[in-house]
Amino acid sequence: MENNTNFASRVLKDVIKGRDIAQSEVEKFFRLILDHKLGIANDTTFGAFFAALQTKGPTVAEILGLTNVVLNYDRVLIPYDEDPENLCGIVGSGKDDLKTFNVSTCAAIVAAACGVKVVKNGSRSESSVAGTTDVLEKLGFPIHLKPEQVTSLLEQTNFTFCDAEPYFPRMKKEYVGKFLFPHPLSYTLSIASGLRFGRIVFGISFEDTELVADVISGLDFSTFMIVAGHDETGKSLDEISTVGPTKITQQIGGTRKTYTLRPTDLDLKMSAFNEIKQGDSVAENAEIFINVLTGKRVDGALDIVALNTAALLLIAGKVTTLLEGIQQAKASIKLGDAYKKFLHITQLAASYE
- What are 159's strand-pairing partners? 118
Mean pLDDT over residues 224-248, rounded? Answer: 97
- Return the minimum-mean-pLDDT range out of 11-15, 184-188, 324-328: 184-188
Mean pLDDT of the chain: 94
User: Mean of the pLDDT values across residues 239-254?
Assistant: 97
pLDDT in tens, 30-70: 999 999 999 999 999 999 999 999 999 999 999 999 999 99
Q: Is the pLDDT of residue 127 over 80?
A: no
Say what the pLDDT of residue 123 is.
65
The full set of domains in the chain, from first to last, is 4-57 (no CATH), 84-351 (3.40.1030.10)
Question: In the predicted model, what is the mean pLDDT of residues 177-185?
Answer: 78
CA distance 188 to 312: 18
Which one, of 223, 277, 229, lies nearest residue 253 by Cα? 223
pLDDT at 168 exceeding the cut of 80: yes
Q: What span, in angstroms and rounded, lies between the C-alpha atoms of 28 and 39?
A: 16
**DSSP assignment letter at 77:** P
pLDDT of 150 reads 96
Strands 236-237, 159-163: parallel, antiparallel or unpaired by DSSP? unpaired
Nearest Cα neighbor of 52 from 9, 17, 10 is 17
Residue 117: name the closest of 188, 192, 200 by CA. Answer: 200
